[in-house]
Chain A
Amino acid sequence: MAVSPSLPHSSTAKPSFQLNENLKAALVFLLSLGLFLLFWEVGANAKWFAKGMPTASKTIEELIWWVTNPFFDNGPNDLGIGWNLLISLRRVAIGYVAASLIAVPLGILIGMSKVAFKAFNPYVQLLKPISPLAWLPLGLYIFRDSEKTGVFIIMISSIWPTLVNTAFGVANVSDDYLNVSKTLGASRMRTIFKVIIPAALPNIISGLRISMGIAWLVIVAAEMLLGTGLGYFIWNEWNNLYIPNILVAIFIIGMVGLILDQIFAYLENLVSFGRS
Chain B
Amino acid sequence: MQTLSDLNVPTMEASTDVQLSLRQVSKVFPGKRGLFSRSSPDFVAIDDISLDIEHNTFVTIIGPSGCGKSTLLNIISGLSVASTGTVTMDNQPITGPGPDRGMVFQNYALMPWMTVADNIKFAVETVYPSLSAAQLKQIVSENIELVDLVGAERKHPHELSGGMRQRVGIARALAINPKVLLMDEPFGALDALTRGYLQEEIERIWEQDRKTVIMITHSIDEALLLSDKIVMMTRGPAAKIAQILDVPFPRPRNRTAVEHHPAYDGLRTEMEAHLYRETRYVEQARIQPENRSTNTDTP
Cβ–Cβ contact B109 & A182, under 8 A = no
Cβ–Cβ contact A273 & B126, under 8 A = no
A194 within 8 A of B: yes
**Proximity bits, B113-125, A CB within 8 Å = 1, else 0:** 1100000001100
Cβ–Cβ contact A176 & B105, under 8 A = yes
Closest to B99 in A: A185
Q: Assuming the A-B contacts A183-B77, A183-B78, A184-B126, are A195 and B111 also in contact, with contact meaning beta carbons closer than 8 angstroms in the complex?
A: yes
Cβ–Cβ contact B126 & A201, under 8 A = no
Cβ–Cβ contact A275 & B112, under 8 A = yes
The distance in angstroms between the C-alpha atoms of A200 and B191, with both chains bound, is 30
**Chain B interface secondary structure, helix, strand, loop or mixed?**
loop
What residues of chain B lie closer than 8 Å to A198, measured between beta carbons? 111, 113-114
What residues of chain B lie closer than 8 Å to A176, measured between beta carbons? 105, 107, 109
**Proximity bits, B94-112, A CB within 8 Å = 1, else 0:** 0011110111010101011
Q: Assuming the A-B contacts A180-B103, A198-B111, A199-B111, are A274 and B157 also in contact, with contact meaning beta carbons closer than 8 angstroms in the complex?
A: yes
Cβ–Cβ contact A185 & B126, under 8 A = yes
B205 within 8 A of A: no
The distance in angstroms between the C-alpha atoms of A198 and B118, with both chains bound, is 13
For window 64-101 of B, CB contacts with A under 8 Å fall at 77-79, 96-99, 101
Closest to A194 in B: B122
Which range contains the number of A residues in contact with the other chain?
Answer: 20 to 34
**Proximity bits, A251-276, B CB within 8 Å = 1, else 0:** 00000000000000000000101110
What residues of chain A lie closer than 8 Å to B96, measured between beta carbons? 182
Cβ–Cβ contact A183 & B79, under 8 A = yes
A186 within 8 A of B: yes
Interchain nearest-CB distance for A174 vs B (Å)? 8
The distance in angstroms between the C-alpha atoms of A251 and B284, with both chains bound, is 68
A18 within 8 A of B: no
Closest to B178 in A: A183
Q: Assuming the A-B contacts A190-B126, A274-B157, are A183 and B111 also in contact, with contact meaning beta carbons closer than 8 angstroms in the complex?
A: no
The distance in angstroms between the C-alpha atoms of A98 and B113, with both chains bound, is 27
A177 within 8 A of B: yes
Interchain nearest-CB distance for A201 vs B (Å)? 7
What residues of chain A lie closer than 8 Å to B157, measured between beta carbons? 273-274
Interchain nearest-CB distance for A126 vs B (Å)? 26
Closest to A195 in B: B111
For window 156-184 of A, CB contacts with B under 8 Å fall at 174, 176-177, 179-184
Cβ–Cβ contact A185 & B112, under 8 A = no
Cβ–Cβ contact B109 & A273, under 8 A = no
Listed in ascending order, the chain A residues whose CB lies under 8 Å from chain B are 174, 176-177, 179-186, 190, 194-195, 198-199, 201, 271, 273-275
12 further A-B pairs in the complex, CB-CB below 8 A; given A182-B97, A185-B97, A271-B113: A180-B109, A182-B96, A183-B77, A183-B78, A183-B101, A183-B103, A184-B122, A184-B176, A185-B98, A185-B127, A274-B158, A275-B158
Pairs across A and B, CB under 8 Å, 7 listed? A176-B105, A182-B97, A184-B99, A199-B111, A273-B158, A274-B156, A275-B158
